[in-house]
Amino acid sequence: MEKKTIYVSGALTNSGRRKLYERIGEVISELGYEPYIPHLHTDPVKNPDVSPSTVYNIDKKKVQSSCLVVAYVGLPSFGVGAELEMANEKGIPIILMYELNTKVSRLVRGIPSVKVQISYQSQEVALEYLRENIKKINP
């Protein structure tokens, strides 16, 4: 039986959050799902020759075939916004993550597919909340 995929969305350009996305992927793997972490496949630094349209097509397919999207929204990102709307169009549940006291767009927080918002001070605590909430959503 093929594992269900959970898409990990987060700003890449100038974000410095790649390790966080990989830690989110570890939690997803521990729960028996397959994480899809875009920068491990089409990183703009490591794979600069991958065209924008190719990235769009790959990410859209991966988002829309996922059972859940976990999105770090602590930094503004056009790409994350697009991925969230792709998920919403298909009714795919979304978990948002961001640091406590971060101003996150009300539009993003109001997306109908958003099921959980994790606002955190500690990444360790956030990852534990993520683990618990993935189990509750049980995509």
Tens place of pLDDT for every residue, the chain, 139 residues? 678 999 999 998 767 788 999 999 999 999 999 999 998 888 777 778 889 899 999 999 999 999 999 999 999 999 999 999 999 999 999 999 999 999 999 999 999 999 999 999 999 999 999 999 999 998 8
Share the mean pLDDT of the chain: 93
The CA distance from 109 to 96, in Å, is 8
pLDDT of residue 14: 66
Q: Which of 70, 117, 75, 119 is nearest to 92 (CA)?
A: 70
70 in Cβ contact with 95 (< 8 Å): yes
Q: What is the dihedral of CA 119, 120, 126, 129, to 10 degrees?
A: -50
| Domain boundaries defined on the chain | 5-137
Question: Taking Cα atoms as reference points, which of 130, 126, 120 lies closest to residue 94?
Answer: 130
- CB count within 10 Å of CB 18 equals 15
- Tokens 């606002």 -> residue: 119
5-137: what fold?
Rossmann fold (3.40.50)
In angstroms, the first-to-last Cα distance of the chain is: 15
Alpha-carbon gap, residue 55 to 41, rounded angstroms: 9
